[in-house]
C-alpha cells in the first residue's frame, strides 16, 4: 500500500510539497515515485540560492532502473537542499516524506500552490 500523508499537497508527477510557514515549502518525491523507481543510487540536487520558476527542471533522481528529472511545482528561491542525499540517496527509498526531502523553496508568490492537488485527488490518480 502506497503511503499518502494527509498533511501534504501533491503534483500529478508524483512529487509532494509541505507548506512550512506560508513562505517556504519542503519538496520531495512521493512513496509511489520512489517505489516505481526502485533502488535510488544518486540524486542530482538543485543549487542553494537558485531562483526557479514553476516547471523548471531542478535536478534528477537516478535509480538502478532509470533517471527521472525533478521539476519544481512552485516558483521561488531554493533556500536549503538535503545534502544527506549526496552520501545516502537511498534515504528517499526509506523515508520519502521525512528524511528523504529534496529541497526547501522560499515562495516568490503563492500562486503555484493553487495547482497542487489534495491527498484525496492524488489517491484518485493511483486508482
How would DSSP label each residue in 17-61? EEESSSSEEEEEE-HHHHHHH-SEEEEEPPPTT-EE-TT-EEEEE
Q: Is the pLDDT of residue 35 over 80?
A: yes
How far is residue 58 from each of residues 52, 122, 123, measured CA to CA in Å?
Answer: 8, 22, 25
The answer to whether residue 3 is domain-embedded is no
Question: What separation in angstroms does the CA of 64 have from each of 29, 44, 60?
Answer: 17, 15, 13
CA dihedral 67, 7, 85, 23 (to 10 degrees): 100
Residue 73: give its domain's CATH number. 2.40.50.100
Given pLDDT bands bounded at 50, 70 and 90, which one contains residue 99? very high
Does any domain span residue 122?
A: no
Average pLDDT in the 65-78 region? 96
The answer to whether residue 46 is domain-embedded is: yes
Residue with cell string 531562483: 51
Domain count, the chain: 1
Can you tell me whether residue 114 is helix, strand or coil?
A: helix
Residue 44 resides in a domain: yes
Task: Give the global pTM.
Answer: 0.94
Please indicate, yes or no, if residue 119 is contained in any of the structural domains. Answer: no
Residue 61 inside a domain? The answer is yes
Instruction: Let me know if residue 117 belongs to a domain.
Output: no
- Its domain, for residue 56, covers 9-111
The pLDDT of 88-108, averaged and rounded, is 98
H-helix or E-strand containing 70? strand 67-71
What percentage of the chain exceeds 70 in pLDDT? 100
CA 28/CA 20 separation, integer angstroms: 13
Residue 72 maps to a domain: yes
Amino acid at each position: 500500500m502506497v503511503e499518502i500523508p494527509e498533511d501534504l499537497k501533491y503534483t500529478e508527477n508524483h512529487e509532494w510539497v509541505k507548506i512550512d510557514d506560508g513562505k517556504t515549502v519542503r519538496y520531495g518525491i512521493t512513496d509511489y515515485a520512489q517505489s516505481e523507481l526502485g533502488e535510488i543510487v544518486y540524486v542530482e540536487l538543485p543549487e542553494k540560492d537558485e531562483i526557479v520558476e514553476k516547471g523548471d527542471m531542478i535536478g534528477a533522481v537516478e535509480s538502478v532502473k532509470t533517471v527521472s528529472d525533478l521539476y519544481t511545482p512552485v516558483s521561488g528561491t531554493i533556500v536549503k537542499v538535503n545534502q544527506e542525499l549526496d552520501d545516502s540517496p537511498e534515504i528517499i527509498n526509506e523515508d520519502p516524506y521525512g528524511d528523504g526531502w529534496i529541497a526547501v523553496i522560499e515562495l516568490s508568490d503563492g500562486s503555484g500552490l493553487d495547482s497542487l492537488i489534495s491527498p484525496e485527488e492524488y489517491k484518485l490518480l493511483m486508482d
